[in-house]
Amino acid sequence: MSEFSLPAIQTLGAIDRSILSAERRLARAPSLAAPQQARVAEAKKALEELKAKNNQAKLTLKQLESSVRVKEEEIGKTNVALNTAKSNDEYQTLLRKIDRLKQEVSDTETQILEAFEGQDGRDAEVKRYEARLKEQEAELKLALARVKAEEDEINAELDGLRKQREEAASAIQDDHLGLYDKVLSKTKDSAIAQIVNENCAACGLRVRPDQISQARGEKLIVTCTSCGRILHL
């Protein structure tokens, strides 16, 4: 193994840890607006459900009004039929039919009146729900702006860190840098690990005495036989 610079590797490791931390913060940034997004979704759902009920109520009102018109037409026809009744029984039957239809019309008109009175309340409730949704959307807009600001700040930080990494990497031999990058790609968090109590601090594997001796000399690159991380004291 060729000699290597432990300080250079450690500097690169520190930069990569900072990059990893920043990338994780960047990934979490959208969650800052998650509560507001949930409230907007909830408000939209509630408004849609209310509008559906309101539309159904309006449809029912139209059906009631149509029913009154049909029955009033039937009353008119029955009144005409009274003039051509051929017997008293037929005449009385027609009268009873008219009375029944008039009662049905009266009952339906009561329902229509109640529906009209309820419609004002439903329309007002829709407006309240729309106002609440508008407020929630305004809060979400502010939250998304905060997310954007956070992301811009982190991206600027990452740009600086990546430039630092490029400079730090240039101070490391190509073969050692290649090994470092390979280990980092595998572990996803860190390519170096300290030897603590004769164990690899990252994976816990016991480090051989000869490896500890080599690591103490800081002249040879020593890797953990389990996780592959570059070891140091």
Q: State residue 1's pLDDT score.
A: 43
Residue 2 near residue 173 (C-beta atoms within 8 A): yes
Write out the residue range of the structural domain in which residue 103 sits.
22-171
Distances (CA, A) of 215 to 11, 13, 202, 221: 17, 17, 16, 7
Domain boundary among 141, 171, 201: 171
Note the pLDDT of residue 2: 47
The tally of domains found in the chain comes to: 2
CB distance 4 to 172 below 8 Å: yes
Q: What is the pLDDT along the chain (233 residues), one digit of tens a residue?
A: 445 688 999 999 999 999 999 999 999 999 999 999 999 999 999 999 999 999 999 899 999 999 999 999 999 999 999 989 899 999 999 999 999 999 999 999 999 988 888 888 888 999 999 999 999 999 999 999 999 999 999 999 999 999 999 999 999 999 999 999 999 999 988 999 999 999 999 999 999 999 999 888 877 889 999 999 999 98
What pLDDT is stored for residue 166 in this prediction?
A: 95
Q: Could you tell me the CA-to-CA distances from 183 to 13, 29, 74, 177, 224 in Å, in that order?
A: 11, 28, 89, 10, 11
Does 77 share its domain with 158? yes
pLDDT, position 122: 87
Q: Are residues 50 and 120 in the same domain?
A: yes
Do 148 and 198 fall within a single domain?
A: no
Residues 152 and 185 in one domain: no
Q: Do 190 and 127 lie in a common domain?
A: no
**143, 69: one domain:** yes
Domain annotation covers residue 73:
yes
Same domain flag for 54 and 141: yes
Asked whether residue 150 falls in the same domain as residue 57, the answer is yes
Question: Going edge to edge, which strands form the sheet with 199-200?
Answer: 199-200, 192-196, 230-232
Q: Are strands 199-200 and 192-196 parallel, antiparallel or unpaired?
A: antiparallel
Q: What does the DSSP assignment read for 177-232?
A: HHHHHHHHHHHSS-SEEEEETTEETTT-PBPPHHHHHHHHHTSB--B-TTT-PEEE
- Rg (C-alpha) for the chain, rounded Å, is 40
Check residue 220 and give its pLDDT: 83
Residue-by-residue DSSP string for 94-130: HHHHHHHHHHHHHHHHHHHHHHHHHHHHHHHHHHHHH
